[in-house]
Amino acid sequence: MPVFNQSRKRVIQLIFFIVFFVIAAQLFNLQVLSSKYEGLAFDNAVYKKIVYPSRGIIYDRKKKAILDNVAMFDLMVTPFQVKNVDTLALCSILKIDTAEFRKRLVTSIIKNGRYRPSVFEGLVTHQLQAQLDENMYKFPGFDLAERPVRLYPFNAAAHVLGYVAEVDTSIIRKSSYFYQMGDYVGRNGLEKTYEQVLMGQRGIKYLIKDNKNRIQGSYEKGLFDTAAMAGRNVYSSLDIELQVLAEKLFQNKIGGVVAINPKTGGILAMASGPSFNPNDLAGANFKKNYGKMSMDTARPLLNRAIKGQYPPGSTFKPLGGLVALDQGLITPDYGYPCAGAYFQCGRPVKCTHAGGGHAANLRAALANSCNSYFVHIFRMAVDNKKYANTTMGYLKWKEYMNAFGLGVRLGVDLPSEDYASIPDTSKYNRDFGGSRRWNSCNIVTLGIGQDRMTATPLQLANAMCLIANKGYYYTPHFVDSIQDETVEDTVFLSKYRRKHEATHIADTSYAIVQLGMQDVVTHGTARNAMIPGVDVCGKTGTAQNPHGKNHSLFVAFAPRINPKIAIAVVVENSGYGSTWASPIASLMMEKYLHDTISTKRQAEVERISKADLIPAAIKHWYYVKDSIRQAKLLKVPKEVNVDTIIEAPVVSRKITYDPEAEPNRRDTGDVLMPKDSLLLPDNKKNRKDSTRP
């Protein structure tokens, strides 16, 4: 053999060496230099399981739990384990057919994969759960997973409490991915505002999973796990009995009521009609009920107490009087010779009384609710010589209004409070074409709470607190204290513990206005608001509005000395303020002050709660909806033969208008809105612009 080939041994050794060197280099690169693989491996194999704590409870002012947590069960399915399932038995328990069964199975495979459990039937009822439990052995791959659900023992305060529901993508994004798909979160009301408190602290369990996402045990024997901390309880100022009464009185009515303790600003009751049972939005029927309610033209989901914008009408007059007194334009003895209307601005502004000295002084004018008197003093305020021109005068007046809490957000601890409207001069400049082209005469009805002025029931009730307290108020709020209050909680709640000295109007001014308001109840427009043994101060309002019948309003506080409750009631399209609003307010005040309603007035409670004041247009909408539902139910398959006359479906456009859609419209009020079934009342984008004149 040729010996010189011996040297090739070296070459082969070199080749081996180079290759091993390359491998070692790459290993060094992967294992020592690059750091990303560790993270990738962690993501691969470690599953962060979030342990949900139980949500905090909300208590009322007497420490009664307004809501509670109960355990409900989700029927979960792990598709790859589904073998030899007694499909028929399962279907008959769940009352679905096999096609639906298959569909749900396929859906869960698509959504979550074959190896991870997904919800087959969410929140099964207790009867179903018992039935399923018995038969579980027949259904391999199915199991019941516990899930806490809110329960509302009083069936009340739906708008205040809000509801808890699954997060959507926008919430996830806003929380910068703190929440994950499938988490439950407070979606409205106090549940939303105090989410951070009620939610508690989620615990994290690190679990090992395999390539098919099956859990294999705890990671590092639970070394990094953190325990879940239960949500903290929240103590509110709400009086649940008063709340229940308010909702009872507001049955079949549209409007809102807010009752506040003027000494603390704590809201005692807040109801909005139409309302709903909060239990409808907890548990299994959430989707069905939510869908139904969001499509309802009466908009039961809307909290009118903080979002309804109503012209305050005559309920504004005490404030008008205060402004005039404070600016020194009138004295309490100032009188106006009203002859049944205010004639100084062209078109007369009518007054319900004529002559007889019904506006001989401020107190009398308030008691008799003289339009002329307050229109007149409003003009005096706007045209005040102290200010350069009408615009300046008006802005000063607006400043007073904003200080009273009108036209601004008060900052109640509920989401999406409305600021309603104290119009800016720019609005009038646009309406009349320039700041010099309008004067106090053009906006004269602002003096009696009409024109472009609107307020929410909350703002009206807060204004009452201001008058009751003679010049200050606390920002209305629900939550008085939080269990184990932290620094952040204190910071958050501090704005509700701070006194707002609204203006520096003299106590004597308040005193005279209070006396005027007391007269309203004792011998004025709201004699039915009287409560024996209590000096009730109130003011009725009958607000003209573009949607039909006048709104019935009433604001009050009681007792006059050392006030304990301030209240504002609005009943939409129901007539005079004294007809519905004042008895409602009166009953609620009695309930709160006396802790019970005298037997004499029990009948009144029943009468009011039974009264149906829903506008005809909305009733018609319900009627149409019911008819369609009936028609669907009746549509049984008919045998079609030659003689059967197939009726062409009558296409009739039902035209109903939506009084809530545009509460501030100042046009004739006859604008009708063709309502397609697909048109959501909330959806502004869908609103047909063609209805604009």
Partner 1 sequence: MRNQNTITKGIDWSVIWLYIALVIIGLMSIFANEYKEGESIIQPILSQSKDYGKQTLWVGICAALAVFILLTDSKFFTATANLLYGFGIMLCLIALVVGTEVKGSKSWLVIGGFRLQPSELSKVFTCLALAKYISRQETDFTKTHSHLIAAAISLLPAIITVAQNETGLALVYFSFFLVMYREGLPPFILIAGASMAVILILSLIFASETLLIGFAAVALVTIFLTRHHFKRSRFLLWAIIGLWAVASFISAVAIPYGINKVMKPYQRDRIYSLVGKPYIPQNPEERAELEKLKAKNRGKSQNQSEYNVIQSKIAIGSGGVLGKGYLKGTQTRYDFVPEQRTDFIFCTIGEGFGFVGSIIFIGLYAILLFRMIVIAERQRSVFSRVYSYGVASIFFFHITINICMTIGLAPVIGIPLPLISYGGSSLLTFTILLFIMLRLDADRQMVLR
The interface mask with partner 1, positions 46-75, x = CB under 8 A, is: x-----------------------------
Using CB under 8 A, which of the segments 5-13, 66-74, 393-401, 595-603 binds partner 1?
Answer: 5-13
The distance in angstroms from the start CA to the end CA of the chain is: 110
Enumerate residues 159-218 that contact partner 1 by CB under 8 A: 208-212, 216-217
Which member of 3, 14, 26, 627 binds partner 1 (CB under 8 A)? 26
135-165 burial, b at 16+ Cβ within 10 Å, e below that, comes to eeebbebbbbeebbbbebebebbbbbbbbbb
Q: Which is nearer to partner 1, 40 or 636 (CB)?
A: 40
Considering the rule CB under 8 A, would residue 3 count as an interface residue with partner 1?
Answer: no
Which member of 40, 223, 561, 678 binds partner 1 (CB under 8 A)? 40
The interface mask with partner 1, positions 208-247, x = CB under 8 A, is: xxxxx---xx-x----------------------------
Which member of 3, 14, 16, 146 binds partner 1 (CB under 8 A)? 16
Q: Three-state SS for 316?
A: helix
The identity of residue 149, as a single letter, is V
Considering the rule CB under 8 A, would residue 23 count as an interface residue with partner 1?
Answer: yes
Please, how many CA atoms are within 13 Å of residue 243, restricted to the half-sphere of its CB?
28
The interface mask with partner 1, positions 123-152, x = CB under 8 A, is: ------------------------------
Considering the rule CB under 8 A, would residue 37 count as an interface residue with partner 1?
Answer: yes
Considering the rule CB under 8 A, would residue 114 count as an interface residue with partner 1?
Answer: no
Q: Which is nearer to partner 1, 208 or 679 (CB)?
A: 208
Going along 463-605, which residue ranges are E strands? 472-474, 479-482, 499-501, 537-545, 548-558, 565-571
The answer for 589, left when phi > 0, alpha when psi is -120 to 50, beta otherwise, is alpha
- DSSP assignment, residue 138? G
The identity of residue 41, as a single letter, is A
Using CB under 8 A, which of the segments 21-29, 130-138, 451-459, 657-665 binds partner 1?
Answer: 21-29
Considering the rule CB under 8 A, would residue 532 count as an interface residue with partner 1?
Answer: no
- Minimum CB separation from partner 1 for residue 10, in Å? 10
Q: Which is nearer to partner 1, 16 or 178 (CB)?
A: 16
The identity of residue 573, as a single letter, is N
CA distance 328 to 180: 60
CA distance 443 to 345: 10
Q: Which is nearer to partner 1, 22 or 136 (CB)?
A: 22
Considering the rule CB under 8 A, would residue 106 count as an interface residue with partner 1?
Answer: no
**Vertex 134: Cα angle to 131 and 139 (nearest 5):** 95
Using CB under 8 A, which of the segments 16-24, 317-325, 428-436, 451-459 binds partner 1?
Answer: 16-24
- Which long-range CB contacts under 8 A does 422-426 form with residues at least 24 apart? 422/398, 422/453, 423/451, 423/452, 423/453, 424/398, 425/391, 425/394, 425/395, 425/398
- Minimum CB separation from partner 1 for residue 109, in Å? 13
Number of residues that bind partner 1 (CB under 8 A): 40
- DSSP assignment, residue 114? S
- Minimum CB separation from partner 1 for residue 209, in Å? 7
- Minimum CB separation from partner 1 for residue 49, in Å? 16
Using CB under 8 A, which of the segments 32-40, 280-288, 495-503, 633-641 binds partner 1?
Answer: 32-40
Using CB under 8 A, which of the segments 23-31, 253-261, 382-390, 392-400 binds partner 1?
Answer: 23-31
Q: Which is nearer to partner 1, 22 or 227 (CB)?
A: 22
CA distance 112 to 363: 71
Using CB under 8 A, which of the segments 37-45, 178-186, 462-470, 667-675 binds partner 1?
Answer: 37-45
Considering the rule CB under 8 A, would residue 38 count as an interface residue with partner 1?
Answer: yes
Residue with tokens 């010099």: 436
Which residues have a Cβ under 8 Å from the Cβ of 314 and sit 6 or more positions away? 369, 371, 448, 449, 539, 540, 541, 542, 543, 553, 577
644 and 638 Cβ atoms separated by less than 8 Å:
yes
Which member of 3, 12, 633, 645 binds partner 1 (CB under 8 A)? 12
Going along 172-249, which residue ranges are E strands? 184-186, 203-209, 215-218, 234-236
Cα 562 to chain center, whole Å? 31
- Minimum CB separation from partner 1 for residue 212, in Å? 8
Q: Which is nearer to partner 1, 47 or 432 (CB)?
A: 47
Q: Which is nearer to partner 1, 14 or 631 (CB)?
A: 14
Using CB under 8 A, which of the segments 24-32, 54-62, 497-505, 519-527 binds partner 1?
Answer: 24-32
CA distance 242 to 272: 13
- DSSP assignment, residue 32? I
Q: Which is nearer to partner 1, 114 or 437 (CB)?
A: 114
Which member of 8, 385, 653, 685 binds partner 1 (CB under 8 A)? 8
The identity of residue 563, as a single letter, is P
Q: What interhelical angle do 599-610 and 581-594 show, nearest 10?
A: 140
Considering the rule CB under 8 A, would residue 36 count as an interface residue with partner 1?
Answer: yes
Considering the rule CB under 8 A, would residue 45 count as an interface residue with partner 1?
Answer: yes
Cα separations (Å) of 479 from 161, 234, 271, 414, 416?
11, 7, 16, 10, 17
Cis before 663? omega within 30: no
- Minimum CB separation from partner 1 for residue 106, in Å? 17
- Minimum CB separation from partner 1 for residue 11, in Å? 8
Q: What is the DSSP string of 337-400?
A: --SSEE-TTSS-EE-S--STTTTSSHHHHHHHT-HHHHHHHHHHHHT-TTSSSHHHHHHHHHHH
Which member of 5, 84, 668, 690 binds partner 1 (CB under 8 A)? 5
Closest by Cα among 260, 272, 324 to 463: 260
Q: Which is nearer to partner 1, 30 or 354 (CB)?
A: 30
377 and 360 Cβ atoms separated by less than 8 Å:
no
- Minimum CB separation from partner 1 for residue 110, in Å? 14
Considering the rule CB under 8 A, would residue 111 count as an interface residue with partner 1?
Answer: no
Q: Which is nearer to partner 1, 79 or 313 (CB)?
A: 79
Using CB under 8 A, which of the segments 2-10, 332-340, 504-512, 639-647 binds partner 1?
Answer: 2-10
Q: Interface with partner 1 by CB under 8 A: which residues? A: 1-2, 5-6, 8-9, 11-13, 15-16, 19-20, 22-24, 26-28, 30-32, 34, 36-38, 40-42, 44-46, 208-212, 216-217, 219
